[in-house]
Structure formats: structure tokens, C-alpha cells
Amino acid sequence: MSGRFDGKVAVVTGSGRAGGLGEGIARRLAAEGATVVISDIGAPADAATPGSMTGSSAEMDAIAASLPKASTFPCDVRNPEQVRALARHAVDTHGSLDIWVNNAGIGYIMKPMMEVSADEWRAVIDVNLTGAWYGLQAAAEIMIAQGKGGRVVNIASQAAKSGFMHAQAYTASKHGLVGLVRSASIELGAHGITVNNVCPNHVTTGLGKWQNEHFAEVQGISVEKYLANMAARIPMGRPGMPEDTAAAVAFLCSDEAIYITGESMNVSGGEEPH
């Protein structure tokens, strides 16, 4: 790789699950020279964070150990004190904070609108939108103090642009990220800090596999048929891969993207046109 992130320190939330989107992003940044802080919730905190959808401490340690320069820091992004502590860890341990990727998210509470409880709605908004706000604020505070600019990237979704069945809270949270970067970029531009979203279409990680099975069952078809139908509507002929999103994140974190801010970049193989 190019080494374009040599000397940079990056935090990636929700990066502690093997095979997850966050891990893919962390590995791409590390491959280009970044020191990476691997962060995840560490253990299920409640019914909204099942163990199958969170990165354990052991998984975080294993991912970090496989990277050239990395550390770990458990963090529940719903807790602003923990998020600020994560930001401080980057500086105290590695000397700087240059890149912050808000990747942690809930995408497995999906059901008909009339069946969604208040607690489920709140859990999705708290992680996907409010958690990203906490991360943006904590990162910006340090980046402003450092005086050398920085990059903040949120992993939004195709659901930031279009609606989907059984995904009212998820879609609302991701649409909210569009407004967040549009407003934050206005205030942070003077400090040389860019704020953008990456909006991938479906990516079959562990969460994506669960979504495949869920929506195939809802539609009364096999998972294989569901995936075939998905591929047929995507101009590039396939769903997204973690590498696709990671490449977009790396670009937005690079010097090449210094004049791009407040944007929500589609990475959908042409499926999402707006």
C-alpha cells in the first residue's frame, strides 16, 4: 500500500468483530500505515446488544495483535464518558488522534413498524445516531486542540438515502447522519476537519448474513433466491464487500479528499442513485 497514513492515528468504533465491516476498515487503514485503535463494546450490555453482534475482548485483542501498530479500548458508544475516554486513549497511548470512524451500529432490530417497542427504537437511535454524535464531538475536541485538522467518517448506509421495510428506526438513524455531517462540516471546516458519511448497500458480514436470513424468511424465499434477486438489481451485479467500504473510507481520510466535507458517498455498485 501507499503508506499515506504513516504517522496517523485512527480510531474505528465497532471494529472488534472478526469479519465485520469495522475490522475491514481498520485493516485497510493499518495497511496504509495508520496506527489503529480497535474498539467495540466488549460484551453484551443488554438485550439490545446480543453477544453474536458484538466484538468480545478476546476478538479485539486478536485483531489488534494481527496489525502492525494497534491497541484496543472497549467502549459503549451510548456512553459519552466512555467515548471521550476512547479518544483520550488514542492520544495518551499513541500521541495523536487524526482519524475517527464511527462504525458501531445496530442493524439487527428489524420488524414490522407496529411491533417495534420504545426500547428497541431508542436502542437503534442511541447507537447509530447519538453514538456517532458523541464520537464526532469527542474527536473534534481533540483535533481542534491539536491544531492540525483531522478526518471523521461515519458509516451510514444506503438506508441514509432510501426507506426499507422493517427498518424504521434504522433508516431514521442513518438519515440523521446525513444532517449531522452537513451541519458539523460547516462548523469544523475552519479547523481543517472534514466530516463525511460512507453509504454502502448490503454487505454480507455477520450482521449481513442475519439480514439475508431475516428478509428471505419475510419474503418466503430461500436465502439463495434472496441474494440472487439482490444481485440482479445492482448494476455491478453483486452486493458490496467490506473492502469496498474500506476503500471509500481510506479515500475520505486521505489528503486527496482534503476538499470533500459534508458529503454522503454512495458505495452501492450503482444501486443507490441519489
Catalytic positions, written as ranges: 170
3-class SS shares of the chain: helix, strand, coil, % to 5: 50, 15, 35
Q: Where are the alpha helices (DSSP H) in the chain?
A: 21-31, 57-65, 80-94, 118-125, 131-146, 168-188, 206-219, 223-232, 242-252
Residue 72 main-chain phi, psi, to 5 deg: -125, 155
Is 175 strand, coil or helix? helix
What one-letter code names the amino acid at 150? G
Q: Cα(85)–Cα(88) distance, rounded to whole angstroms?
A: 5
